Amino acid sequence: MTEIIPLVETKNCTMEFPGVRALDNVNFKLLPGECHALVGENGAGKSTLAKCIIGEYRMTSGDLYICGERINPVSYNVRVSQNKGIAVVHQEFQLMSDMTGIENIFIGHYSTKGPLIDWKKLRNRAEDLMSFLQSNINLNIPVKYLRTAEKQIIQLARAIMFESKVVILDELTAVLQEKEIKNIFRIIKILKEKGIGIIYISHRLNEVFEICDSYTVLCDGRHISSGNVKDVDKNKLISMIIGRELTQVYPHIENTQSELLLEVKGLTSHNNTFKNINLELHKGEVVGIAGLVGAGKTELLNAIFGNHKIKSGEIWIKGKKVNIRCPQDAIKYKIALVPDERKQLGLNMIYNIKENMVLPSLNRFIRLGVFSDHKKEMLAAYEFCEKLKVAYASLWQGVSKLSGGNQQKIVIAKWMLADSEIFLLDEPTRGIDIGAKVEIYKLIDELTKQGKGVIIVSPELEEIIGLSNKVYIMFEGEIKDVIYGENKTQSAIINSMLGVD
């Protein structure tokens, strides 16, 4: 029987940074036509291994083989890996925000006609790519005006523009909704049929079981296990990832009807992204909001927080009608927003942990009406970091150096420090590993036990169902249905999301 030559293989791959061994003798193998899941907690070494494969990092020791050829690490870099047919879609956007979609797709590879760029040819190629991706994105405007999901599709288009042999997808679906994820799976299947190998890095284990053929688990830079997905179940995979059995992912839901905390009546946005929204949130309750991309979920949360203009409607807090014109008003009424883009909107990435923690609460730490009490700020920040079990070196550590899960804890902690009572969580577990997700779930449970109210938006229906007392379904900007109790099932939610009566 002819031996199948791996498209990519690492042998004893070790990657060391000053004081840190990010990869420790890792062996990895990707076969033609295979979708290979690379899983592990944040900091496990997944992205580091990917960067070694594409030549962004030079391995400290070990061997890398591409299509059976041993690679010379001295001359290997990103350009060489691209020439060898390796493409990557990073978790973080690698786009030029002021350039158009077409310019971003073909940057560095423009077709020319004499001394000029052949834009007609590029547009035709772009149309073919968008047709293949089943997307109708406007490629003639700067990408900074596109939605997050549209930017990700442009990154994918750029990755598959050439006849790649290997495509690395690093958390590609973290910013996508169910319909878009299904389209990505369709594309992956086509790529596999062409013999292309896919390295699939994701924290969404349901996706691993739906689309991947094989898996490799990393933990603290070490290779834990590899095998066929069909030979392992979800609980076993989770225990390998976090090093322990996971007895219960979601906290127990208490179905108690307590004091009304927030009421939204007939809320309509200035641009009709949502219309005539009626919603109630009680103390100690988690309310889920589900819907497709463009349904108006994020805009609704931002409107409640004073960050999105409304045309009509009312917001009531504890039985009192309030006027929220800006986020400062919302903060005054003890409303907190954890946005879907934590790095761009939830944190100031040039600030340290302490500075981010106290931002919404600066008025609490003023001495003599003028001066900041830095000692009190430090003690308060330390208390909440310890309470939330944030993994950090010091309060003066930059938040950019934290893992995604710990960054999200900081975003939530700053609002807890501000003594918020209403928490608006927009995809709070996006891009974080299963262990960190469970910590966030426990934190949500703790908030409800304190009598806080939580509204959560998530594309993961299992998460919405597992956390929420009731689920509001949004369809084309309106509340299509409210589901709770035994009717709170995935099939019921999906039908309502799609507008099926």
Q: What is the pLDDT of residues 441-460, one digit of tens each?
A: 888 998 999 999 999 998 88
Q: Is the pLDDT of residue 419 over 80?
A: yes
Q: What is the pLDDT of residue 244?
A: 58
| Contact indicator for 179, 142 with CB cutoff of 8 Å | no
Q: What is the pLDDT of residue 168?
A: 92
- 487 or 81: which leads in pLDDT: 81
pLDDT tier at 323, thresholds 50, 70, 90: very high
Q: What is the pLDDT of residue 436?
A: 76
Q: How far apart are CA 73 and CA 126, in angstroms?
A: 34
Q: What is the pLDDT of residue 322?
A: 93
Q: How far apart are CA 58 and CA 74, in angstroms?
A: 8
Q: What percent of the chain stands above pLDDT 70?
A: 95
Q: What is the pLDDT of residue 257?
A: 67
Q: What is the pLDDT of residues 235-274, one digit of tens each?
A: 888 888 876 555 567 777 776 667 899 999 999 999 889 9
- 287 or 21: which leads in pLDDT: 287
- 222 or 110: which leads in pLDDT: 222
Q: What is the pLDDT of residues 269-304, one digit of tens each?
A: 998 899 999 999 999 999 999 887 778 899 999 999
From the list 475, 416, 424, 158, the residue with the least C-alpha distance to 294 is: 475
Q: What is the pLDDT of residue 321?
A: 94
Q: What is the pLDDT of residue 425?
A: 92
CB atoms within 10 A of CB 312: 12
pLDDT tier at 369, thresholds 50, 70, 90: low
Q: What is the pLDDT of residue 37?
A: 94
Q: Is the pLDDT of residue 175 over 70?
A: no
| Three state DSSP letters for 327-374 | HHHHHHCCEEEECCCHHHHHCCCCCEHHHHHHHHHHHHHEECCCEECH
Q: How far apart are CA 411 and CA 354, in angstroms?
A: 11
Q: What is the pLDDT of residue 122?
A: 85
Most confident listed range (34-48, 165-179, 311-325, 401-415)? 311-325
Alpha helix locations (H) across 400-433?
404-417
- 113 or 427: which leads in pLDDT: 427
